[in-house]
Chains A and B, each alone.
Chain A
Amino acid sequence: MTYRKTLLIGLFLLFAGTVLAGTAEDKGLQIARDADAYDSGFGDFTADMTMTLINRKGQKSVRQIRIRTLEVEGDGDKSMSIFDEPADVKGTAMLTFSHGLKPDDQWLYLPALKRVKRISSRNKSGPFMGSEFAFEDLGSQEVEKYDYKFLREEPCGEWQCYVIERRPKYKYSGYTRQIAWIDKDKYRITRVEYFDRKNKPLKTLTMSDYHVYLDHYYRPGKMEMVNQQNGKRTVLEWKNYHFRTGLSPRDFNKNKLKNLH
Chain B
Amino acid sequence: MNRLRMLTLSVAAILSLAADAADWRGSYSLEESYFPNDALFAGQSDSYPAMAFEVEYHRDLPIPGHSITVTPFVRIDDLDQQRTHADFRELKMHVVRGDWEWDLGLIKVFWGVTESQHLVDIINQTDLIENIDGEDKLGQPAVHGLWYRDWGTLEMFLMPGFRQRSFPGVHSRLRGPLPVDIDHPQYESSDKDHHLDYALRANGTFFNDWDIGLAWFSGTARAPQLLLDTSHGQPRLIPRYPLINRLSLDAQATLESWLWKLEAIYQDQKQQSFGAAVGGFEYTFYTIANSASDLGVLAEYHYDSRQEDADTPFQNDLFLGARWALNDTQSTEVLAGGFFDLDHESRSYRIEASRRIGQNWKLSGELQIFDRLSPQEQQYPLRDDDFARLELTRYF
Interface residues of A (CB under 8 A from B): 53, 55, 61-62, 85-91, 99, 102-103, 105, 111, 113-123, 125-127, 130, 172, 174, 250, 253-255, 259, 261
For B395, give its contact among A90, A120, A259 (CB under 8 Å).
A90
B148 lies within 8 A of chain A by Cβ: yes
B257 in contact with A120 (CB, 8 Å): yes
Residues of B close to A130: CB separation below 8 A: 292, 327-331
A113-B110 contact given A120-B256, A122-B257, A250-B148, CB 8 Å threshold: yes
Residues of B within 8 A of A53 (CB): 329
CA distance A88 to B26 in the complex (A): 8
Query: How many angstroms from the CA of A123 to the CA of B284 in the assembled complex?
Result: 9
Q: A123-B294, A250-B148, A255-B148 are contacts. A91–B254 as well, Cβ < 8 Å? A: no
Q: Are the C-beta atoms of B395 and A115 separated by less than 8 Å?
A: no
- Residues 351-385 of chain B, each 1 if its beta carbon lies under 8 Å from chain A, else 0: 00000100110100000000000000000000000
Q: Is the CB of A122 within 8 A of B286?
A: yes
Once the chains bind, are A105 and B356 in contact (CB under 8 Å)?
no
CB atoms of B292 and A114 under 8 A apart: no
- Interfacial chain B residues near A89, Cβ < 8 Å: 331
Q: Are A113 and B287 in contact, CB atoms less than 8 angstroms apart?
A: no
From known contacts A130-B328, A250-B148, A255-B146, infer whether A91 and B292 are also in contact, taking CB-CB under 8 Å: no
Residue-wise, chain B 244-278 has the 8 Å CB interface mask toward A (1 for contact) of 00000000101011110000000000000000000
Asked if B359 and A87 make an inter-chain contact with CB atoms under 8 angstroms apart, the answer reads yes
B 293-323 binary contact with A (CB < 8 Å = 1; else 0)? 0100000000000000000000000000000
Q: Which residues of A contact B360 (CB under 8 A)?
A: 86-88
A86, B284: Cβ atoms closer than 8 Å: no
Q: Is the CB of A172 within 8 A of B286?
A: yes
Bound CA span A36–B177, Å: 69
A172 nearest CB across to chain B (Å): 7
Q: Which residues of B contact A120 (CB under 8 A)?
A: 254, 256-259, 284
Minimum C-beta distance from A201 to chain B (A)? 16
| A121 vs B209: C-alpha distance when bound (angstroms) | 11
A103–B256 touching, CB < 8 Å: yes
B110 engages A115 (CB within 8 Å)? yes
A27 to B328, CA, bound (A): 40
Residue of A nearest to B284 (CB): A120
Q: How far is the CB of B187 from chain A (nearest CB, A)?
A: 27
Cβ–Cβ < 8 Å partners of B331 in chain A: 88-89, 130
A24 to B152 alpha-carbon distance, docked (Å): 45
The count of A-to-B residue pairs whose CB atoms sit within 8 angstroms is 106
Q: Are B256 and A255 in contact (CB under 8 A)?
A: no
Closest residue of A by beta carbon distance from B361: A88
The reply to whether B259 and A253 form a contact with Cβ atoms under 8 Å apart is no
B203: chain A residues at CB < 8 Å are: 255
5 cross-chain CB contacts under 8 A: A88-B360, A120-B258, A123-B294, A254-B205, A255-B153
When each residue 130-159 of chain B gets 1 if its CB lies under 8 Å from chain A and 0 otherwise, what string results? 000001000000000010100011000000
Q: List 17 additional contacts besides A114-B108, A122-B286; criterion CB under 8 Å.
A: A86-B359, A87-B360, A88-B27, A88-B356, A90-B395, A117-B113, A120-B258, A120-B284, A125-B287, A126-B287, A126-B294, A130-B330, A253-B152, A254-B211, A255-B148, A255-B152, A259-B67
- Give A125's nearest chain B residue, CB to CB: B287
Question: A261, B205: Cβ atoms under 8 Å?
Answer: no
Q: Which of A61, A99, A127, A261 contacts B327 (CB 8 A)?
A: A127
User: Counting CB contacts under 8 A, is B46 at the interface?
Assistant: no
Judging by beta carbons under 8 Å apart, are B101 and A259 in contact?
A: yes
Question: Given the complex of chains A and B, what is the CA–CA distance between A121 and B330 in angstroms?
Answer: 22
A209 to B348, CA, bound (A): 56
* Chain B residue with Cβ nearest A89: B331
Q: For the complex, what is the distance from the CA of A115 to the CA of B329, rounded to whole Å?
A: 24
Q: Is the CB of A88 within 8 A of B256?
A: no
Q: Is there an interface contact between B329 and A253, defined as CB atoms closer than 8 Å? A: no
* Chain B residue contacts of A127, Cβ below 8 A: 292, 327
CB-defined contacts of B222 to chain A, threshold 8 Å = none
Report B-chain residues with C-beta under 8 Å of the C-beta of A62: 359
A168 to B: closest C-beta gap in Å: 15
| Contact yes or no, A261 B23, CB < 8 A | yes
Distance A71 CA – B31 CA, assembled complex (angstroms): 46
Considering the chains assembled together, what is the distance between the CA atoms of A23 and B101 in angstroms?
A: 55
Which residue from chain B places its CB closest to the CB of A113 in the assembled complex?
B110
Closest chain-A Cβ to B168's Cβ sits at a distance in Å of 22
Minimum C-beta distance from A105 to chain B (A): 6
The residues of B that contact A99 with a CB separation of less than 8 Å are: 208
Q: A55-B329, A85-B359, A253-B153 are in contact. Are A90 and B25 (CB under 8 A)?
A: yes
